[in-house]
Chains A and B, each alone.
Chain A
Amino acid sequence: MSDATKHLLENLNALAAGLFLLTGFGIVATRQARGCLNLFIAQSLLLAASAALLGLRYNSAHLYGVALVNLVSKPIIVPWLLRRTSPAGIYTRREIDQVLNIPTALLIAMALAVGSYFVGIPLAKAVGPDVRGPNVPIGIAVLLLGAFTLTVRREALPLLIGLLAMENGAFLAGIAIARDLGMLVELAIATDGLIIVFIMGVLVRAVQKQVGTTAVGDLASLKEGSPEAAADEALL
């Protein structure tokens, strides 16, 4: 492989990683639940693209495997599973009152992304000289953005997407630093992601049936304090 091709592949990978970061911001800020799911699908496709490009660059069959697993499980099986398990209403939900308003949330998200750059670069350097490109800092950034999504959203679907985005972020960094992890592990992790979607879908359906809402973030009757106050809140 010529140096020019290598260079091109690295640049394309950087482009995919950059777009990956953008989808992370999108998941924090998109009000429409359906939009969140679409952004997550785009994010998984970009992860697969990054794995394929790095696979070409380093000639690693294992990375092609990662790309294939991501291509099949997340854009196809996850939406299918969601349709099967959870109430149809979760797609059309819009969050009017988020915990933080969108500009503030984006500002904090930006700070997280910048912070993860300062952590990610030395970490990538410590792994070895052949870990180039922005995969590690952007992976950490999306990991943190996913965790941040979990703290600001209340609707079930965006919360689930936040969890899966964290895993995507860990993987984007992982394909750069742990290139030959083993196919069995890879498949097991993909299956695990699907079990997460299944269990959470079942829980959301039960919540909707019992409580009549899918804004699971608003459930807050369990806490310390006087039992009367807790009972009052449960009645409201």
Chain B
Amino acid sequence: MSIIVILLLPLIATLLVCVRLGKRWASGVTVVFCLADLILVARLAWLVVAGVAPAELRDAAWSNWIAVDGLSALILLLIALIGTTAAIYSVGYIAHEKPEPKRLRLYYANYNLFIFSMLAIPVLAEPTLVWIVVELTTLCSALLVSFYNTREALEAAWKYVVLSLMGAGVALFGFLVLFAAMHAGGGGTYTWAGLLAAAPRMPPMLLQAAFLLILIGLGTKVGLVPMHTWLPDAHSQAPTPVCALLSGIETTSILYVILRLFPVMQAVPGSHAETWALVLGLISAGTAAFLLLQVHDYKRLFAFSTVEHMGIILTAIGLGASANYGAMQQILNHSVTKSFCFFAAGAALLAMGTREIAAVRGLIQRSPAAGAALIFGGLAITGAPPLAIFLSEFSILKVGLTQGRYVAMGLLATFIVIAFFGVMAHLNRMVFGAPTIAAPQHHQPETAGSFRLPFSCQLALILGAVPVLVLGVYVPKPLHDLLAMAAAALTR
């Protein structure tokens, strides 16, 4: 039952949010339901690690439609965790903008639908249904991206929808070819597990065609270069809690669908799936690292950093089985760190009222919390020790070097260093120095002088910082087991 309940909770929350009951009703319902979902997902992940299959997975009627293994459990856990912290952050952040009650309900209804569509991705076992929920993530988040209804936000939302759906069209053809490949290989049930079993009998040419179509199609939504052009727009124009969801977990959960194909491709000798991942990953990380240097908007800065990290994860997958654990750790650390970075960026936006890097000086004097969070987030996302991302990037580079891939690892290390200097140079200029009050965009700073963050934003920042700090020095045993199980799901 628990898996169905996990999917039902956000849908019930969507309905409840639409009821008109006071100012705090919608945000309260969303936080409570997200928290309940997090508890259920944590219990599910615990069961998966302990090797106990939940009831519906033992029933054949269910197992053709839903399946949860280590990899799914990891992604589910991240979605539920970031969904909860972003919901807490939303309470103060969205209320600060004083939207009309109708728009407030629209925001939270879309928020819960978006969470639902993402939770469904790792749970569903039938690939074409997964494709549909991937489409739903785009459609449910489109109105969140355009929430401010400004010219820029509408442009970003339009670009986001058109490019994502264009990619989805290509991916749909890929999934149909995958089905045909399975049929040509003697059939079976069309699920991830069924594909894995049937892979050795499938015609290699069809399998390869399907892999490339899906890699390109869904890669558009992950933000792989050269299909990334929409990502910095959408990930910077949306309200900040939504940016945290888009960058922190949406990209990751789409990447999960691509990752599901790697064990299938390993059945085909000479498929070069890993090489594709390595090359696309390095191109993405490199391009994003250089684009980071010339941004003028600090939310775009973190959006480009997402492209860079998707590149790093894909590069790690390209290194083969021994780097899979590092890749899973990178997925985990990127999600928790990137959502924290956007929370910090949102705090800076509330305090200063502008997204222009050049217009912000001396943030730490105006709002010590926002300034400290921004510097901490910048250090964490660029891989400064002893924070979480340092550990996973180090382990990926170590595996690559022991395999003797000096050129690829040299490039990756260079890109990481460039991104470090790019991000820190921008943030350093913003946080320190003499304070200025910038021309306000749509956030009006109430008074000059010091600024106090809404309580829920402070709470979300503290909750978000805990995993970033802890995972850098200590990975708890159950989490380690979950990561190992997830890594094992990527090999045959």
Contacts and interface: CB of A to CB of B under 8 A. Distances in A.
Contacts of B151: 210-211, 219, 221, 234
B162 A192 contact: no
A163 B162 contact: yes
Contact of A140 (B149, B152, B173): B173
Interface stretch (A35-43, A58-66, A102-110, A119-127): A119-127
Given A196-B139, A222-B237, A170 B356 contact: no
Determine chain B's interface SS by DSSP, over half rule. helix
Contact of B172 (A167, A226, A227): A167
A178 B18 CA distance: 40
A101 B449 CA distance: 57
A200 B161 contact: yes
A174 interface: yes
Contacts of B488: none
Nearest to A159: B162
Given A170-B169, A178-B176, A188 B184 contact: no
A150 interface: yes
Contact of A126 (B135, B139, B203): B203
A211 B154 contact: yes
Contact of B152 (A178, A188, A216, A222): A222
A226 B158 contact: no
Interface stretch (B47-55, B289-297, B371-379): B289-297
A127 B180 contact: yes
Interface residues of B, number: 50
A163 B166 contact: yes
A224 B228 CA distance: 14
B139 A195 contact: yes
Given A123-B209, A127-B183, A206-B149, A222 B155 contact: yes
Contacts of B183: 127-128, 177-178
A204 to B, nearest CB: 8
A219 B233 CA distance: 12
A159 to B, nearest CB: 6
Interface string A22-60: 000000000000000000000000000000000000000
Contact of B129 (A188, A199, A200, A221): A188
A171 B180 CA distance: 13
B150 interface: yes
B136 A143 contact: no
Contacts of B233: 222
A159 B165 CA distance: 11
A234 B184 CA distance: 54
Contact of B166 (A123, A139, A147, A203): A147
A86 B358 CA distance: 39
Interface residues of A, number: 49
B143 interface: yes
A96 interface: no
Contacts of B161: 199-200, 203
A222 B155 CA distance: 8
Contact of A177 (B166, B180, B205, B237): B180
A88 interface: no
Given A143-B170, A210-B150, A203 B135 contact: no
A195 to B, nearest CB: 5
Interface string B128-158: 1100100110010011001001111011111
Interface string A179-215: 0011011001100100110011011001100110000
Contact of B180 (A146, A159, A178, A227): A178
Contacts of A189: 128, 132, 172
A177 B176 contact: yes
Contacts of A173: 173, 176
Nearest 7 pairs of A and B residues by beta carbon: A166-B169, A177-B180, A219-B155, A174-B176, A170-B173, A178-B179, A222-B233
16 contacts: A123-B209, A126-B184, A126-B206, A140-B173, A163-B165, A166-B170, A170-B176, A174-B176, A178-B176, A178-B180, A189-B172, A199-B139, A203-B158, A210-B149, A222-B156, A224-B300
Interface of A: 122-123, 126-128, 139-140, 143, 146-147, 150, 159, 163, 166-167, 169-170, 173-174, 177-178, 181-182, 184-185, 188-189, 192, 195-196, 199-200, 202-203, 206-207, 210-211, 216, 219-222, 224-227, 230, 234
